Amino acid sequence: MLIEELRRELPDGRLIEDERIAAGFAHDEAEWAPYGTPRVVVRPRTAREVRSVVRACLRHGVPLVTRGAGTGLSGGANAVEGCVVLSTEHMNTVHEIDPVERLAVVGPGVVNDDLRAACAEHGLWYPPDPASAPWSTIGGNVATNAGGLCCVKYGVTRDYVLGLEAVTGTGELVRLGRRTAKGVAGYDLAGLMVGSEGTLGVITEVTVRLRPQREAERTVAGYFSSVVAAGRAVTAVGAAGLTPSALELIDRHCLAAVDRWKNMGLSVDADVVLLGRTDAPGPAGAREAERMLACFEEAGATWAAQSTDQEEADALFAARRLAYPALERLGPVLTEDVCVPRAAVPEMLARIERAATRHDTLIANIAHAGDGNLHPLLTTQPGDTAARERAQAAFRDIIADAIDLGGTVTGEHGVGLLKRDGLERELAPAVLEMHRAVKAALDPRGILNPGKVISHG
Ligand SMILES: Cc1cc2nc3c(=O)[nH]c(=O)nc-3n(C[C@H](O)[C@H](O)[C@H](O)COP(=O)(O)OP(=O)(O)OC[C@H]3O[C@@H](n4cnc5c(N)ncnc54)[C@H](O)[C@@H]3O)c2cc1C
């Protein structure tokens, strides 16, 4: 039996067999994504132990779902009925920080903020900063190719992964990529693992590129009377050739929800707040902030200013990070993640408003607006099935609109379960077949996170 084999092969304390405790590992943060009951939860501490688990699952034909912190918003880490959930929480060591090569080597269970803190001690910076950085793991970030607030200037997780170690679905422990600044030997298989959502391999170690720490940022805030007007300001910033280090949108529903929770005194006299930041040093930073301010004003801001109060600016960004959990406290929230070309941001925001009206659903908005990555948050009340169905219909319409505008169904949260249909709408049949061919090569028995990302066709 699988569990007896795992008990035999792994050191003591690695298995959680208690059903009630295992249930806590059964799903991520995605609303209404189906999940099953895990047969057992395994918490390995080394890559060899991970390999033993994968090989045991292979021998017994049992599915294996890898889990970081379970903050995912697409159902990617949701348990498949009777599966083994492999939690990386104990593989949380920062193995190395090399200030000369400007890289770090970390276990997959290291929490994003912990890596950033460790880098800061060396005057270094790991840029990818999902709003979940206090909880989410580097393994989860790599497996979803996570984005974040500063990605508008500094790129997403993929841009920082130099190499990684993983156990594939054939039970091989392999090293992919490199630790040199450059290198083009062979196909980019490390890149292939980035964003593969646990369907091609279990990532057991990651080597990430670092940057020197940067200058303090200047913040520009703008108030707008509609999301569409704020969207016009986003397009204007891009058209002006500016490169903000963050350009985030948060609407009054989110600000009010954060305020109710944290009592931060945030309630502002605006429907939408746009928060821009620049980290350009010295006079260049001052000029960029002024030009961003002009873009906000020309797009119709009812009020806009450079923040002189760092605490106030930080509070607004903290509110942006807390928006989703704050709304979730009030009832189930279905989180969207479409990404459209920057020029299409105003039109996409207008279509989201129309979907809200059409489906009688309150849709709050946060967005990594500078990337065109929008997170409409479809809110409902607990137990209201009709409201849930209306929200799900709006969700489908928003996906169709994003594709129609030349966008993508997921900017950063991943396909998981919630975007599988969307993926099939977005990609050509030949490209879906390429996905299936890759899956068949790296996981021929289909044991790794089955049913996620792509159907077997
Ligand atoms: C409040 C909040 C804010 C968020 N903000 C952002 C944001 O700004 N940007 C963003 O991109 N996302 C954001 N997210 C979504 C989520 O935090 C990210 O997708 C994150 O990368 C998931 O990390 P995790 O450790 O929680 O992974 P999990 O949720 O545990 O897993 C995510 C996926 O990765 C796979 N996986 C995890 N670890 C491994 C591994 N070692 N090997 C192989 N596969 C693995 C899982 O199987 C699953 O498919 C947010 C979520 C919340 C709740």
CA of 378 to the centre of ligand 1 (A): 20
Our answer on whether the CB atom of 89 is closer than 6 Å to any ligand 1 atom is no
Ramachandran angles phi, psi of 335, nearest 5°: -95, 125
* Average of per-residue pLDDT across 374-397: 95
pTM of the complete model beyond 0.85: yes
Tell me what percent of the chain is helix, strand and coil, each rounded to the nearest 5. 40, 20, 40
CA of 144 to the centre of ligand 1 (A): 6
* Average of per-residue pLDDT across 114-142: 97
Does the pLDDT value for residue 312 go beyond 90? no
Model pLDDT for residues 403-452, shown as the tens digit of each residue: 999 999 999 999 999 999 999 999 999 999 999 999 999 999 999 999 99
Query: Exposed/middle/buried for 185, CB within 10 Å: 0-12, 13-18, 19+?
Result: exposed
SS3 sequence, 142-177?
Answer: HHHCCCCCCHHHHCCHHHHEEEEEEEECCCCEEEEE
Our answer on whether the CB atom of 371 is closer than 6 Å to any ligand 1 atom is no
Does the pLDDT value for residue 266 go beyond 90? no
- Token pair 């006299």 is found at 269
Q: Identify which of 57, 71, 248, 423 to mutate to test ligand 1's pocket (most ligand atoms within 8 A of the CB).
A: 71
379 beta partners? 333, 362
User: What pLDDT, on the 0 to 100 scale, is given for residue 267?
Assistant: 62
User: What pLDDT, on the 0 to 100 scale, is given for residue 176?
Assistant: 98
When pLDDT is cut at 50, 70 and 90, the band that residue 263 belongs to is confident
SS3 367: strand
CA of 130 to the centre of ligand 1 (A): 9
**Spatial contact of 25 and 79, defined as CB atoms under 8 Å apart:** yes
Say which range, 260-264, 371-375, 400-404, 433-437, has the weakest mean pLDDT: 260-264
Our answer on whether the CB atom of 141 is closer than 6 Å to any ligand 1 atom is yes
87 beta partners? 67
Does the pLDDT value for residue 21 go beyond 90? yes
Which helix (H) or strand (E) covers residue 15, if one does? strand 15-16
* Average of per-residue pLDDT across 199-216: 96
Q: Which atom of ligand 1 has the smallest separation from the CA of 146?
A: 11
Say which residue, 311 or 418, is predicted with more confidence. 418
Atom 20 of ligand 1, nearest CA residue: 141
Our answer on whether the CB atom of 198 is closer than 6 Å to any ligand 1 atom is yes
How far apart CA 279 and CA 268 sit, in angstroms, is 25
How far apart CA 224 and CA 272 sit, in angstroms, is 5
User: Which among 279, 250, 246, 247 has a CA at the least distance from the CA of 264?
Assistant: 250
374 beta partners? 367
CA of 379 to the centre of ligand 1 (A): 21
- Token pair 């607990």 is found at 382
Token couple for 270: 């605006």
Does the pLDDT value for residue 259 go beyond 90? no
Strand ranges for 132-253 from DSSP E:
161-168, 173-177, 201-209, 211-212, 218-224, 246-251
CA of 30 to the centre of ligand 1 (A): 11
SS3 98: strand
Does the pLDDT value for residue 310 go beyond 90? no
Our answer on whether the CB atom of 351 is closer than 6 Å to any ligand 1 atom is no
Percentage of the chain with pLDDT > 90?
91
Which helix (H) or strand (E) covers residue 294, if one does? helix 282-298
Our answer on whether the CB atom of 74 is closer than 6 Å to any ligand 1 atom is no
CA of 152 to the centre of ligand 1 (A): 19
CA of 224 to the centre of ligand 1 (A): 31
Helix 282-298 to helix 227-239 angle (10° resolution) is 140
Amino acid, single-letter form, for residue 206? V
**Spatial contact of 161 and 206, defined as CB atoms under 8 Å apart:** yes
Q: Identify which of 29, 78, 114, 144 to mutate to test ligand 1's pocket (most ligand atoms within 8 A of the CB).
A: 144
Ramachandran angles phi, psi of 184, nearest 5°: -130, 25
Does the pLDDT value for residue 264 go beyond 90? no
- End-to-end Cα, the chain, rounded Å: 31
Our answer on whether the CB atom of 44 is closer than 6 Å to any ligand 1 atom is no
Our answer on whether the CB atom of 38 is closer than 6 Å to any ligand 1 atom is no
CA of 358 to the centre of ligand 1 (A): 31
How far apart CA 353 and CA 348 sit, in angstroms, is 9
When pLDDT is cut at 50, 70 and 90, the band that residue 327 belongs to is very high
When pLDDT is cut at 50, 70 and 90, the band that residue 210 belongs to is very high
